[in-house]
Amino acid sequence: MTIGIVRKIAKTLLGKATKILPVKKVGPKYPLAFSTWGDEELEAIQRVIDTDMYTMGKHVKQFEQEFADKFGSPHAVMVNSGSSANLLMLSLLKWKYKLKGDIIVPVVGWATTYFPVTQNGFRLNFVDVDPNTWNIDVTKIRDAITPETCAIMPVNLLGNSCDYTEIKKICEEHDLKLIEDNCESMGAVYQGKHTGTIGLAGSFSFFFSHHIQTMEGGMVLCQDKDDADYMRSLRAHGWVRDLPADSHLYKKTGNAFDDNFIFATPGYNVRPLEMSGAIGSVQLKKWPGIEQRRIDNAKYFVELFHEKPFLRIQQIIGESSWFTFGIVLDGELKGRRAEIVKALDEAGIQNRPLASRNFLKQPVMRDLDYIASGEMTAADDIHDNGFFVGNGSEDIRKNIKELYSIIRSFCKIKEPRGLGNVKRMLIGK
C-alpha cells in the first residue's frame, strides 16, 4: 500500500477528528502580544494540508502579490522570518551591488538588524538615536560618514517612521544605498508612503507579536525587478528555478534538467512554508481591523501618557502603526525601573526592555566589527530607563489605564486633578 493510499484511508476514517484545534491559553492579564488568529487561519492551514504540498508554492506567491499591492511596492519576496529578510537585503548589497565598507545603523534596533551586516562582511557604524523619536538621530549621521560608508540601514522602531526626508538627502549627497529594517513597522506611513518601501528594499516580520502573524515569516519589498530576482535566488540555495522566464540573472533554456539545477547566487535556504503564505493572505484581509484596533488603543495610551514630567513616550513622525507602547522613565521616576517592572509583573502586566536597548552594551559586541561615533546619550537613557508593554488587536484600554495608575503611584508629586488633565496629541489616522 502506498503512503498516499494510507493517508486517504486515515482521512476517510478520521475525517474532521484529525483537525487540531487551538487551545486558548490563560496568560498574563495584559500580555506583550495578542493572537490575531481565528478559524480562518486554521482553515487556511487545512487547505494546504489538503493539497499535500507543504513547501513554498502558489500560496506564498499569491501572498507576495497581495502584500506588494497592499503596500504599494512593485516586488515582494517572502522568507521564513524578518531576520532572514534582513539577511537577504544585506547579501543583495554585498553580492549584487558589490558594496564593501561600513553601514550606518542606529544603536537601538534588534540583534538581527546588526548580525546580517557583519555576516556579509560589512562594518557596523553605530549612530545614536534621537531622544524623542528613538529612531536614528539624523543630525548625527553626517558626522558618522567615513570614506568607506556605503549604505544606511535605519530601523523604524516600534511602528514609527524615521525622518526619511533628511535620510534620503544624506544618501543622495554621499551616494549611499538605503535599506530599511521595517520589521516593527508594517503599516506605518511617511509622507504618503508606507515604510519599508522608501529605500531600495525594506524588511517585514510576521512573527507572533508582530502586526500580522504567519507563525514564523517575513518579507522583503523592493523597487527593482532584478533585485527581486536576485533575492529569490538567494532565498533558495542560489538556484534559478523560481525566477521568471525574462530574468536578467539567468535566461532559462526551457530544459528543466538544466534550469532546475543552475546556481547563480551564493544563496541560503530561507524559504517560507506554504502554510505561512496561506495564512498571510488571510491575515492581510484582517489587517484593516487589526490596525484600527491598535490605533484606538494608541489614542488612549497617548491621552494618558503624553507630556508627563515623570516619563516620555515616543514622538511620532508620520503615521505610526503602534507596534508596542514604549516608555522611558524621566524626572522623579528616572532610575526606578526595577521597582516599577516588579509592580507591573505582580499586576500581570507583561513588559520587556525597549528593543535591543543600547546594542553596544551587549556581550556579543566583542565579536563584531564596528565603529561608533560620539556619545550614545539617548540610547543610554533608553537602556537604563526604557521598557515597553504590548499593543494588539484587542481593546486593552482598561489595561492601559491600570498601567498608568501603577506607574503614577510611584510619583510623590500628585496629579493636578484626576486623569482627565490631557491635551490631545495628533497621532495620525
Ligand X SMILES: Cc1ncc(COP(=O)(O)O)c(C=O)c1O
By the criterion CB under 6 A, which residues form the site for ligand X? 81-83, 86, 109-110, 112-113, 155, 181, 183-184, 205, 207, 218
- Could you tell me where the beta strands, DSSP code E, fall in 66-135? 75-79, 102-106, 123-127
Residue 189 grid cell? 506611513
Q: Which is nearer to ligand X, 71 or 239 (CB)?
A: 71
Among the listed residues 237, 238, 240, the one whose alpha carbon sits nearest the alpha carbon of residue 259: 240
Q: Which is nearer to ligand X, 183 or 407 (CB)?
A: 183
Query: Which residues, listed in sequence order, are joined to residue 349 by a DSSP beta bridge?
Result: 30
Q: Return the residue matching grid coordinates 500581570.
A: 348
In the complex, the smallest distance separating the C-beta of residue 403 from ligand X, rounded to whole angstroms, is 21
In the complex, the smallest distance separating the C-beta of residue 183 from ligand X, rounded to whole angstroms, is 3
In the complex, the smallest distance separating the C-beta of residue 303 from ligand X, rounded to whole angstroms, is 26
Count how many residues are written for the chain. Answer: 429
The answer to whether 376 and 356 have CB atoms below 8 angstroms apart is no
Name the catalytic one among 210, 211, 306, 383: 210
Q: Which is nearer to ligand X, 110 or 239 (CB)?
A: 110
Q: Return the residue matching grid coordinates 535620510.
A: 167
Query: Which residues, listed in sequence order, are joined to residue 220 by a DSSP beta bridge?
Result: 77, 203
Strand, coil or helix: 384: helix
Strand, coil or helix: 310: coil
φ and ψ of 81, to 5 deg: -170, 165
Residues 293, 299, 304, 308, Cα dihedral to 10°: 130
Q: Which is nearer to ligand X, 206 or 404 (CB)?
A: 206
Q: Say how far apart CA 121 and CA 105 lie, in whole Å.
A: 15
In the complex, the smallest distance separating the C-beta of residue 280 from ligand X, rounded to whole angstroms, is 13
In the complex, the smallest distance separating the C-beta of residue 77 from ligand X, rounded to whole angstroms, is 14
Active-site residue, 59 included? no
Q: Say how far apart CA 168 and CA 146 lie, in whole Å.
A: 17
In the complex, the smallest distance separating the C-beta of residue 317 from ligand X, rounded to whole angstroms, is 16
Cα-Cα-Cα-Cα dihedral sign, residues 405, 407, 408, 412: positive
Q: Which is nearer to ligand X, 186 or 344 (CB)?
A: 186
Q: Say how far apart CA 110 and CA 359 lie, in whole Å.
A: 8
DSSP string, 123-142: EEEEEPBPTTT-SB-GGGHH
Strand order in 324-329's β-sheet?
311-312, 324-329, 386-390
Q: Which is nearer to ligand X, 181 or 303 (CB)?
A: 181
The answer to whether 144 and 165 have CB atoms below 8 angstroms apart is no
Q: Say how far apart CA 63 and CA 426 lie, in whole Å.
A: 33
DSSP3 helix / strand / coil % (the chain, rounded to 5): 40, 15, 45
Q: Tell me the residue number closest to ligand X, measured at CB.
A: 82
Q: Which is nearer to ligand X, 95 or 207 (CB)?
A: 207
Q: Which is nearer to ligand X, 80 or 125 (CB)?
A: 80
The answer to whether 149 and 104 have CB atoms below 8 angstroms apart is yes
In the complex, the smallest distance separating the C-beta of residue 204 from ligand X, rounded to whole angstroms, is 8
In the complex, the smallest distance separating the C-beta of residue 78 from ligand X, rounded to whole angstroms, is 12
Active site residues: 210
